[in-house]
Every structure is written in C-alpha cells, then in structure tokens.
Amino acid sequence: MTLPRLASAFALSLVLALGGCGEEPVRPSAEAIAAAQAEIARTPPRQPRLMPSDEAQAVLRRIDQRIRPAAVKECRARGGDRCAWSVAYEPAATFNAFASGRDRIVMFGGIFALARSEEEIAMVLAHEKAHHILDHVAETNRNAGIGAFVADILVSVGAVWIAQELGLPLPAALVDSLRSAAAGAGAQAGVLAFSIENEKEADALAAAILHASGYDLDAARGMIVTMGSMAKGDRTPNFLRTHPAGPERLAHWETVVSGLRRAQAASPPQLLADAAR
C-alpha cells in the first residue's frame, strides 16, 4: 500500500468513525438538541409544490449517478456482495421513501414536492442506500422473524395533508398499511420499520456519502428541518414514529456533519476525494 493510499484509507476510516455507522454512535449534546428544537419551532411547514413526473425522474437519475461511486465504495468497504440498487420513482404524494428487499429503493413524489434543492432529495436517496449498505433490511426482518416489507417512515404524517394540498388522490396503499400498523396490525400487514438506531446510522452514512459526492451538507440539512417542522402537528403514535423525532434527528445530523468537517480539516482535501472514489 503506497503512502497516499494508506493516508486515504486512514482518512476514510476517520470519516466513518466520526460518522457513526454503527461502530461509534454520535450523541448530540443537550445544547445541540435545544438549538435544533428552537430552529424547528420557528420553521413553518413547507407548502408542497408538485414536480412533474418526468422532471422528478430526471433529477433522481442525476442524483443516483452522482452518489453511486461513494455509495458503492462504502458498500464494498463493508464487504457487501450486492452494491447496486434499483431506484424507482413513485408519483404518489406520500412524503416517504423505502429500502426493501435486497436492492430496491422507492422514492415517492411527496419528497420532490417538499424538497427545495437537489441536495435535499439526495439526502433521502443516500439515506435509503445507507439502509441497504448497512444491511438494515435483513436485520429488521431477522429481528421480526418474518420476511416482511420494511417501510421507511420519513414522516408518515403529512402524507394525507400533502395529497390534499396537491389535490391528488389519497396516498398509496402503503399509508393505509402504516395506519393498520398503528392499530397494532403491523405484523399482519407485513410492514415493519427500522429502529431508531438504524435510522441514525443511515443518516450518518448518508452524510458521509453526500460529502464524498461533493454535495453541500448545509443545503441537504433542509430536508431534516422540514421533516421536523412537518412532524410538529404529528398525531402519529410514538411507537410508530420510528424515525428520531425532529430535534434529536437534526442535532444528530449537525454533530455528524461537524465530525466530517473536522476530519476533512485534518486531512488534505485530495486524500478525502481519493478516499471517496
């Protein structure tokens, strides 16, 4: 291993360690959570803007191509044997996305309607890829003891609201399944959700992937703020709200991003760029 290779391997492992990814969970401070809470409290929920299907699909393809090299690298670094994912666009206005099966990812129209930048959409796609890279789908199914369909509830709330705002038909059958899950019929409906720890790991790895792909993490964080501001009026039962509640999630993101930036400051940029390839 040449010196630059060794240094880049070190830089990458530093990024991964700081990014969490299961080995070293990132714990935001109480001050960071309070600051996140204040920001979310003063951020009004966004009005959805319908993005035409063809435009949304083009944006999704562009993001997928841009983050793929870094995602594949993270996957291979973990010994993944399937580091290619099938990414589909689903026009329903649900504010949600999925990682399911061995390689499937579905991004719903509601994400595109609420996003205000490509970075924000990229954050969601990188998060879903991270669930696959970290083997969360299989882990969740194993824990449940059944081969169920894992739903990634970004904000299951808001789905009906978005559909109404856009004048679209009510969201996909998925939302109904989630509501059945709320009624205690989760296993019967075949819908599971990732654990909060899995969600934090997926956010941390998503940040590392976006960073390595040259996306602006400050722009991407808008999606986390939006999830928090939309969840303010959330009546989803706590046990169903599998994603960390808004302020904790935003504070976790901030802590992960500071760690990535410290790692970058400690390493020459070309090494991080090299590490990302």
> What φ, ψ does residue 68 adopt, rounded to 5°?
-60, -50
Nearer to Zn ion, 11 or 157 (CB): 157
Nearer to Zn ion, 119 or 271 (CB): 119
For the bound state, the minimum distance from the C-beta of residue 11 to Zn ion, rounded and expressed in Å, comes to 27
Which long-range contacts does 3-9 make (Cβ < 8 Å, 24+ apart)? 4/271, 4/274, 7/267, 7/271, 8/271, 8/272, 8/274, 8/275, 9/275
Which residues bind to Zn ion, rule: CB under 5 A?
152, 199, 202
Structure tokens at 100: 């399911």
3-state secondary structure of 49: coil
Nearer to Zn ion, 133 or 168 (CB): 133
Element (H, E) at 12: helix 3-19
Nearer to Zn ion, 152 or 254 (CB): 152
For the bound state, the minimum distance from the C-beta of residue 125 to Zn ion, rounded and expressed in Å, comes to 11
Nearer to Zn ion, 16 or 97 (CB): 97
For the bound state, the minimum distance from the C-beta of residue 235 to Zn ion, rounded and expressed in Å, comes to 21
> What φ, ψ does residue 216 adopt, rounded to 5°?
-80, 115
8-state DSSP, 184: I
Quick one: residue 168, left, alpha or beta (phi over 0 = left, psi -120 to 50 = alpha)?
Answer: beta
Nearer to Zn ion, 223 or 272 (CB): 223
For the bound state, the minimum distance from the C-beta of residue 107 to Zn ion, rounded and expressed in Å, comes to 12
CA distance 180 to 187: 10
For the bound state, the minimum distance from the C-beta of residue 85 to Zn ion, rounded and expressed in Å, comes to 14
Q: Which residue is nearest to Zn ion (CB)?
A: 152
CA distance 179 to 25: 31
For the bound state, the minimum distance from the C-beta of residue 167 to Zn ion, rounded and expressed in Å, comes to 28
CB count within 10 Å of CB 187 equals 13
Nearer to Zn ion, 86 or 164 (CB): 86
Whether residue 18 contacts residue 272, with contact meaning beta carbons closer than 8 Å, is answered with: no
Whether residue 93 contacts residue 84, with contact meaning beta carbons closer than 8 Å, is answered with: no
For the bound state, the minimum distance from the C-beta of residue 230 to Zn ion, rounded and expressed in Å, comes to 15
